[in-house]
Amino acid sequence: MTEPGRRRAQRPGSVTIADVAGHAGVAVSTVSYVLSGKRMISETTRQRVLASIRVLGYHPHAGARSLASKRSNVIAMVLPLRSGMHLPVLMRFATAVAITARQHDHDVLLVTADEGPAGLRRLAAGSMVDGLILMDVEWEDPRVPLLRELDLSSVLIGIPSDSTGVTCVDLDFAAAGAACAEHLAELGHTSVALLGAPAVVYGRDTGFARRTRAGFLERAAARGADAVAVACEDDAGSAARAVGELLAAHPETTGIAVHNEAAVGHVLSALSALGRRVGEDTAVVAICPEDVAERTAPALSSVLIPAEDLGERAVSLLMSKLEGAAVPRETLLAPRLTVRESSARPRAGSPAVGPASP
Amino acid sequence: MTEPGRRRAQRPGSVTIADVAGHAGVAVSTVSYVLSGKRMISETTRQRVLASIRVLGYHPHAGARSLASKRSNVIAMVLPLRSGMHLPVLMRFATAVAITARQHDHDVLLVTADEGPAGLRRLAAGSMVDGLILMDVEWEDPRVPLLRELDLSSVLIGIPSDSTGVTCVDLDFAAAGAACAEHLAELGHTSVALLGAPAVVYGRDTGFARRTRAGFLERAAARGADAVAVACEDDAGSAARAVGELLAAHPETTGIAVHNEAAVGHVLSALSALGRRVGEDTAVVAICPEDVAERTAPALSSVLIPAEDLGERAVSLLMSKLEGAAVPRETLLAPRLTVRESSARPRAGSPAVGPASP
DNA sequence: GACATTCGTCGAAACGCTTCGACAAATCCC
DNA sequence: GGGATTTGTCGAAGCGTTTCGACGAATGTC
């Protein structure tokens, strides 16, 4: 006889929409409409129902909901577990996606792509997820053709060679490469180099690497600077060797862009071992996550990888698609270059360049 | 009129268990029992049903299944988005959990804890997940009391102060400390030291820190070495001071274990500033994540945090709990020590020690 | 004041699966 | 060889939602 109203709420998972309806004195369907807003409900009824929901601690049963509505309110985040990925960046994507999805009332299912196509088919056929976000997409990604036949909404982070019929988001790496070249040219460097990803990445035809390289080389040429691009492995030894060979072949190089998060530190060490003073006689600018750039000594000028923005943008696009809206095929985020110590001053002997005002 | 048999399979999500039953000429329930194995089905029927499933490309509807069976076959992985977490390690946990879960026919929902208790309640009440894996659990973790009241199976990675009523997995830190002592003794060091966590951590009676210390001191004593353990703060200045004081008080120390990820780099710098050559006249071994150990110069011998193992073990334990089995309250994983440059060679002047064969 | 329109609510039919009880047919036990 | 048991299958009752058509009660129209 004590606290009769609380009996049900105490056994979690047991309070159903029918309980709420009973408590509020309305029909089950009315409760449903209050929750979904799909039909007009008078304000008084609304409040009464909401109060009952609160009192009973009602949460809709996800399975029942997805069965009846054909929407699961879950999206899948597909990570390829390829080696050589930069885990921290991936993790930042992942959390950004998770948080943004929650803001759109969706949950996130983590899928490692090593189940292959069958895994995606399983999710699609089982109505487990409403849509897909694929991360770390490669230039020739085998998942892309699969996606076209799957009739599930999806958004790619990264840009494949053929983006017909899919939706992609990425940093505009061509512009990022160009921004680096531009920045170095602006500082007065006439001989510049790009230290890029490990050779295997170019071999794999990974889109972002080649777009960066193209952007860098083109802009440098447009600014009349001599430019060269070389691959660079992740480990200290190889990085030092790459730097050594670069400066041996092109000793006049004074501006260097690094597009390799893992090697950034090693490159700086190698430069100083070879007698270069970074930020003084040699300017360095990197394309890498913010925290990496800030942690080096001297702090690196950098174009940051906007992991949070990309994740958020990807989810927003997916939500639009789920609502049937048309979305652009490729969304490229403009790079933002932050100047830090490693390229703070113009090249010795070159005319100082202020903000140009014609 | 072409390919009539493929019509259904081509519209994904549309083929139901009733279609399969029709195609195989059996009752719906029979198909269900073939799939679940919960009742005996003759081999001939079984094969016929399985063939129909294959032909039609049937995948059960996850929502319907969870509605009828009260099991979702999904587990949640709860990440606290605390700052200062070590992202790469977390990511490795995450992928290990995801892969192991799939082996147990479960999917993984990614939950960032910043929704707070309400988020966990939502998952529980909505029957979205069958169980929880909480990562990066702290000594006094606010999520632990919540868990006790939630009546959802869960496993913690990390050990809280009060593990009553919960299930935890972690590295066996006592054994890790012992492994360090053993390794240094094996190299011929007779005077060794442990540079541990900041003093405040010992003051708080934090389990893993004191267990490491105890393991280290006991094993060193057992091997007849002089051993001392001191606390060590995170910042460069304090670390240098700690090293200085240690070597002043015990100049004969030649083997050092460091159990402090953040200070590892500072300790190495301090040692070389004091004229010690790490890996030559002084051996150093650390307890830290693999990538930290590999990134220092010289690379550090280390007891690594077995992220993959822990993730896998956590999932296995959770599955056992879901099946109603009793599981140990705390599961401790044996440490594995990897030798790298910082302790590669036996102490100068001590007899070389090969693999002992009596 | 009779008629068509909203407005707000209800009842019931799906949705695709699991599981329980029932029931023939086959097998066993003396 | 008749009763008890086991084996293999079926039919139907849920599971907790959403959504559609229906239907009184207000409201507006001439």
Q: Which two tokens stand for residue A105?
A: 């009332």
Contact A151 B12 (CB under 8 A): yes
Restricting to A residues 225-284, those with a Cβ less than 8 Å away from any Cβ of B are 236, 265
Q: Which two tokens stand for residue B219?
A: 């094993």
Nearest-by-CA chain A residue for B151: A12
Contact B126 A90 (CB under 8 A): no
* Amino acid B22 CA to nucleotide D9 C1' distance, rounded Å: 15
Q: What is the CA radius of gyration of chain B?
A: 27
- How far apart CA A112 and CA A115 sit, in angstroms, is 7
Check: CB of residue B51 under 8 Å from CB of residue B23.
Answer: no
Mean pLDDT of B91-100: 90
DSSP string, B286-333: EES-HHHHHHSSSPPEEE---HHHHHHHHHHHHHHHHTT----SEEEE
Bond preceding residue A335 cis, omega within 30 of 0:
no
Mean pLDDT of B148-152: 86
* Amino acid A15 CA to nucleotide C5 C1' distance, rounded Å: 39
Bond preceding residue A358 cis, omega within 30 of 0:
no
Beta bridge partners of B284: B256
Mean pLDDT of B149-167: 89
Contact B110 A102 (CB under 8 A): no
* Amino acid A27 CA to nucleotide D21 C1' distance, rounded Å: 16
Q: Structural domain boundaries of chain A?
A: 4-69, 74-171+307-333, 173-304
Indicate if A173-304 has the same CATH topology as A74-171+307-333.
Answer: yes
Please state which CATH number belongs to domain B74-171+307-333: 3.40.50.2300
CA distances, B354 to each of B118, B156, B225, B347, B358 (Å):
58, 40, 19, 13, 12
User: Is residue A28's pLDDT more than 90?
Assistant: yes
Mean pLDDT of A304-314: 90
* Amino acid B254 CA to nucleotide D22 C1' distance, rounded Å: 89
A14 touches strand D (CB under 7 A): yes
- How far apart CA B27 and CA A263 sit, in angstroms, is 62
Burial class (CB in 10 A: 0-12, 13-18, 19+), A107: buried
Q: Render pLDDT for B250-286 as a digit per residue (tens, 0 to 9).
A: 988 899 999 988 788 788 878 888 888 888 888 899 9
Check: CB of residue B151 under 8 Å from CB of residue B132.
Answer: no
**pLDDT grade for A328, boundaries at 50, 70 and 90:** very high
Q: Which of A190-194, A242-246, B231-235 has the lowest mean pLDDT?
A: B231-235
Secondary-structure class of domain B4-69 per CATH: mainly alpha
Tell whether B63 is within 8 A of chain A (Cβ).
yes
How many other CB atoms are there within 10 angstroms of residue A36's CB atom? 11
Q: Which of A336-340, B71-75, B348-352 has the highest mean pLDDT?
A: B71-75
Strand, helix or coil for residue A328: coil
**How many angstroms separate the CA of residue A12 from the nearest CA in chain B?**
6
**pLDDT grade for A5, boundaries at 50, 70 and 90:** very low
Q: Which amino acid is at B278?
A: V
Q: Which of residues 115-144 of B touch strand C (CB under 7 A)?
A: none
Check: CB of residue B165 under 8 Å from CB of residue B148.
Answer: yes
Q: Which of B25-29, B35-39, B43-47, B274-278 has the lowest mean pLDDT?
A: B274-278
Looking at residue A22, what is its pLDDT?
A: 95
- How far apart CA A316 and CA A155 sit, in angstroms, is 10
Nearest-by-CA chain B residue for A75: B109
Q: Tell me which nucleotides of strand D come within 7 A of a protein CB.
A: 7-12, 14-21
Contact A13 B99 (CB under 8 A): no
User: Is residue B200's pLDDT more than 80?
Assistant: no
- How far apart CA A91 and CA A135 sit, in angstroms, is 11
Q: Which amino acid is at B123?
A: L
Please state which CATH number belongs to domain B173-304: 3.40.50.2300
| CA nearest neighbour of A169 among A338, A323, A307 | A307
